[in-house]
Structure 1
Amino acid sequence: MSGMIKAKKYDWKDSNLAMFGSDTEKQVKKESAESEPAWEGAGEKVGMQIWRINKFKVEHWPKEEYGNFFNGDSYILLNTYKDPGEDILKYDVHFWIGSESSQDEYGTAAYKTVELDTLLDDRPVQHREVARNESSLFKSYFKSLTLMDGGVDTGFNHVEPEQYKPRLLKVSGSSKKVQVTEVPFCMANVTDDDVYIIDKGNKLYLFCGSTCNAMEKYKGISRIQEIKNTRGKATSETVESMGHRCFEDIPQTASCESSADDEPDTTSVPSMFKLSDNSGQLEFSTVQNEGTLSRSNLSPEDVFILDTTKDCFVWVGKGASQQEKQNAMTYAHNYLKSTCHPLLPVTVFKQGQESKSFMSATTA
């Protein structure tokens, strides 16, 4: 497999997420979770709650910013819901890792996700999300996603508009999902089939490509208005041609960076692995590495990691040992590091919590 590994843009993936699966991390008591001020009211009613990690602390993310994420930060998202006709609250908890997030931030996010899971009596389904590689479930929570450079450590939110480093926002998608993403500031990233916002602080420009769709236009207009609402002096202008003066100071290609992460993985095959301590020590072994993954290979006494090449599922059997449960996410994370797709969404769920996506990706 080593010959298949490509150089990656993300440095954080080389961590072993030691905080997540360690004995110390799993010793987090419910009393400790209940003493965390940020968790007050968490999961008590249907709805979504988001927190950002700031210097080892969990802080509420403003509701008006839901859907907007800084690549320099890590976040925790809790979605509380009920199935139709049922009164029982159910949960999905995601920790989202920005591409430039520090080890302290995403380590704390992973640790606090476990703490929140403990507070909710181990009922949530846990997810690891990575910027620009989010799961379909995560994306479904928002009308659009906006990924921006900077973060809490950069003080990006506190920079005056006049001091902004110019940035380029790409607005793209279909009627079902439009995403706003900050892309490298160069003309090679501007095409006629999408909408773009050239953000120069107190002056914003909206460029609508000739073949862009109506939803992209609508989102571009509304996103510019959202930005202007936070900057009292900011003005905007809609431009119709790439020959407009607003493009004059944007380099052609020199500043652009290509990323191997954007290349589709066409070499990997679906694989299933078992994590078991039946021998007295943890062993990670291959169960299946070709064809459609079969649920008949799952046994309640162990933990299984299923890599579909599109998603990574961690299935925790009802009879799995505490050691197996504690190390499930760590083993999944470390396994993905050795593949051509280390940034896949990871979903950890207990036997009986299987999602539709898991069922459709496997056979009986």
Structure 2
Amino acid sequence: MSISMKNLDPAFRGAGQKDGLEIWRIENFKPIPVPTSSYGKFYMGDSYIILKTSALKKGSFRHDIHYWLGKDTSQDEAGTAAILTVELDAALGGRAVQYRELQGNETEKLLSYFRPCIMPQPGGIASGFNHVEVNEQEHVTRLYVCRGKHVVHVKEVPFARSSLNHDDIFILDTKSKIFQFNGSNSCIQERAKALEVVQYIKDTFHEGKCEVAAVEDGKLMADAEAGEFWALFGGFAPLPRKIRSEETGEDMEAAAKLLCFNQGQLEPISFESLTHDLLETNKCYLLDCGGEMYVWMGRSTSLQQRKGASEAAEKLLTDDSRTKSHVMKMIEGYETVAFKSKFNEWPPTPDLKLSSEDGRGKVAALLKNQGLDVKGLMKSAPETEEPEPYIDCTGNLQVWRVNGNAKTLLASAEQSKFYTGDCYIFQYTYTGEDKEECLIGTWFGNKSVEEERASAIKLASKMVQAAKFQATMARLYEGKEPIQFFVIFQSLQVFKGGLSSGYKNFIAESGLDDDSYSEAGLALFRIQGSGSENMQAIQVDAVASSLNSSYCYILHDGNSVFTWIGNLTTSLDHELVERQLDAIKSDLPSRSLKEGRETDKFWELLGDKLKYSNKKIEREQESDPHLFSCILSKGSYLNRSKKYITLLRMI
């Protein structure tokens, strides 16, 4: 199958430039935009491309591309969707992750876009079927199985008693009534999600005009609705004690196989250990893990190579009749955590940020080299690549300082000001996907006393109990805070000393000087952070040896304020120091000093000019958290990671 590459399809022009979903259906090898009013309506005989665009804080975008294949779609149509997905990714800068979605085996990521579920309808374009509107067709009794606590997988199963089991929830859709059958081993979260599906079926397929009934597994004919339900199956009979097919181990992860796409063919690569060194930047690879397949495309590969690798993956799955395998495609440098976790060794991700012009130029050059007309392809490009937000930052925050066995609520203006000798409790509530979420955490300063740490844990535990154990609890230590903490607080100032009774008693008993911060006293702060969302001011010893050319600093006493700009700092660092001035010392005018142009007064406050480090400090990259799944099957213990697991306390 070949496609003319002289021009990108006009349907993709301007795509991905605003937050939200965009959907195209494949018709005659072309992407046709789907009206917004029809989003979520999929036909079994069609193939679709779904683009999810997420707006990031600095005005840039993150893209995820899915191509959905109905169970009756033609092979040509499926292949077209796969190739057009590669083209769309190239148009968006080559940074998107691409997902192959099969009807009935969709990823949770895709299902999360369409609430409460996806329920494909019969019909299609290329398959020769006609699209049949729901209200035009004669109602047929159907039985569905629903699985999932967060997003729901809905699958039609044969209308027979043998389809039922004790572990799942089933929906029986008849012309006059919808029954929800709750298996005795199903949980309350799954039942709640299934009820949303029942309401969706009622509104979509019955125009809201039918009865709804719940049937509990184990209730016999004495219950009228249970009797009516079982009568549709020819009468009640006990269900066998069988387990779900997903739990039998049929889809267990297979040993990884690495294949290189070379001159139109897939060539297996032998290896003793799967490491990053096996991947070359000018080639495309397929990593076959059984239930999952990854297509990795080197940054130096051509668009034709990437399309060829995508076609090869489709052909491999078709030839092997693997109907449940997920396929994810990604460009070098933008690998997912799941992909990197398959390797025994993966180096730290390099800084691949591109300026707007640089990124636009490289993408345009790639496409132009393939004979494409790139004029008007992209009106703008992301300036920076940002991580996906971990937590909503628009919620409500409360902070308490632990004082002995009690806690003291801090005013809003003081919530980001912590002392290294104190312990704090914070409570953050925000709107989640389905309900209000609550996070309760403790923060321990490096010099806080053990008694108040224990008190903080006890007080926080009581708060979790008061929330009926619906809150998430976290324990954090100074200098080891995860990124979620800074997303919540936005800004943080850490002062020397402490204000709590426990800290005061400790230094008095130990005969130590109280060096707690005073606004009228002498203080030096090191400014750090990667952006306005996680800026920090850390008080350090007010001596010249505390300086470092890689940072900016704030120095003040009761009468004067200086900012010191290291020679190795960036414009972002300069912006952060100005913003931290407002939090630390906004009542006095400041004087900015560049390294090497300090005044005598500056050195006088620091005690004298001493030697300090002027070597560039490489900022540590935020490492990806890893979640490992372990499966018990037929008495054997299988650890999919095959690595030692360390349990960490983290959000």
TM over 0.5: yes
- CA separation of 1:288 and 1:71: change in aligned 2, threshold 3 A: farther
- Give 2:62's aligned residue: 90
Gaps of 5+ in 1: 1-17, 254-258
- Give 1:9's aligned residue: none
- Measured against aligned partners, the alpha-carbon deviations of 1:44-87 in whole angstroms (never above 9, x if no partner) come to 11222334446666242656853x6443332221111245x543
- 1:79 partner letter: K
> 8 Å contact 2:291–2:324 — kept in the other structure?
no
- Measured against aligned partners, the alpha-carbon deviations of 1:145-201 in whole angstroms (never above 9, x if no partner) come to 33445234353434546x212101222223x33322222211111223332221123
- Give 2:229's aligned residue: 246
Question: In structure 2, how many angstroms separate the alpha carbons of the residues matched to 1:46 and 1:77?
Answer: 13
- Give 1:4's aligned residue: none
User: What is the SS of the residue equivalent to 1:352?
Assistant: coil
- Give 1:360's aligned residue: 341
Please state if 1:196 is matched with 2:178. no
Question: Which shows bigger deviation, 294-303 or 116-125?
Answer: 116-125
- CA separation of 1:308 and 1:82: change in aligned 2, threshold 3 A: farther
Question: In structure 2, how many angstroms separate the alpha carbons of the residues matched to 1:136 and 1:288?
Answer: 33
> 8 Å contact 1:173–1:179 — kept in the other structure?
yes
Higher relative contact order (CA 8 A, sep 6+): 1
- Measured against aligned partners, the alpha-carbon deviations of 1:256-287 in whole angstroms (never above 9, x if no partner) come to xxx99x972459421101123xxxx4443211
> 8 Å contact 1:272–1:288 — kept in the other structure?
yes
> 8 Å contact 2:49–2:85 — kept in the other structure?
yes
Question: In structure 2, how many angstroms separate the alpha carbons of the residues matched to 1:115 and 1:321?
Answer: 11
- Give 2:270's aligned residue: 288
Equivalenced residue count is 323
Tell me how far 1:329 sits from its aligned partner.
0.5
- CA separation of 1:120 and 1:321: change in aligned 2, threshold 3 A: closer
- Give 1:157's aligned residue: 133
- 1:48 partner letter: L
Tell me how far 1:318 sits from its aligned partner.
1.8
Question: In structure 2, how many angstroms separate the alpha carbons of the residues matched to 1:295 and 1:59?
Answer: 39
Tell me how far 1:242 sits from its aligned partner.
6.5
> 8 Å contact 2:25–2:34 — kept in the other structure?
yes
> 8 Å contact 1:201–1:234 — kept in the other structure?
no
- CA separation of 1:79 and 1:356: change in aligned 2, threshold 3 A: same
Task: Select the residue among 191, 205, 209 that pairs with 2:179.
Answer: 205
Task: Select the residue among 258, 261, 273 that pairs with 1:275.
Answer: 261
- Measured against aligned partners, the alpha-carbon deviations of 1:317-362 in whole angstroms (never above 9, x if no partner) come to 1222454223011112223345474542212221111111111122
Q: Percent identity, aligned pairs only? A: 29
Gaps of 5+ in 2: 222-226, 240-244, 347-651
- 1:92 partner letter: D
Question: In structure 2, how many angstroms separate the alpha carbons of the residues matched to 1:54 and 1:148?
Answer: 17
- Give 1:43's aligned residue: 16
Question: In structure 2, how many angstroms separate the alpha carbons of the residues matched to 1:289 and 1:159?
Answer: 57
- CA separation of 1:239 and 1:47: change in aligned 2, threshold 3 A: closer
Question: In structure 1, how many angstroms separate the alpha carbons of the residues matched to 2:252 and 2:196?
Answer: 37
Tell me how far 1:204 sits from its aligned partner.
1.9
> 8 Å contact 2:52–2:65 — kept in the other structure?
yes
- Give 1:226's aligned residue: 200
> 8 Å contact 2:108–2:151 — kept in the other structure?
no
- Measured against aligned partners, the alpha-carbon deviations of 1:18-48 in whole angstroms (never above 9, x if no partner) come to 4xxx3x25x0513xx23x3xx5763111222
Please state if 1:336 is matched with 2:321. no
User: What is the SS of the residue equivalent to 2:341?
Assistant: helix
- 2:212 partner letter: E
Task: Select the residue among 13, 24, 47 that pairs with 1:74.
Answer: 47
> 8 Å contact 1:206–1:236 — kept in the other structure?
no
Question: In structure 2, how many angstroms separate the alpha carbons of the residues matched to 1:284 and 1:114?
Answer: 18
Alignment of 1:181-192 (within 5 A): 181-192=155-166
Question: What TM-score do the two structures reach when normalised by structure 2?
Answer: 0.44
- CA separation of 1:245 and 1:136: change in aligned 2, threshold 3 A: closer
- CA separation of 1:288 and 1:164: change in aligned 2, threshold 3 A: farther
- Give 2:294's aligned residue: 313
The structure carrying a bigger helix percent of its residues is 1
- Give 1:264's aligned residue: 250
User: What is the SS of the residue equivalent to 2:196?
Assistant: helix
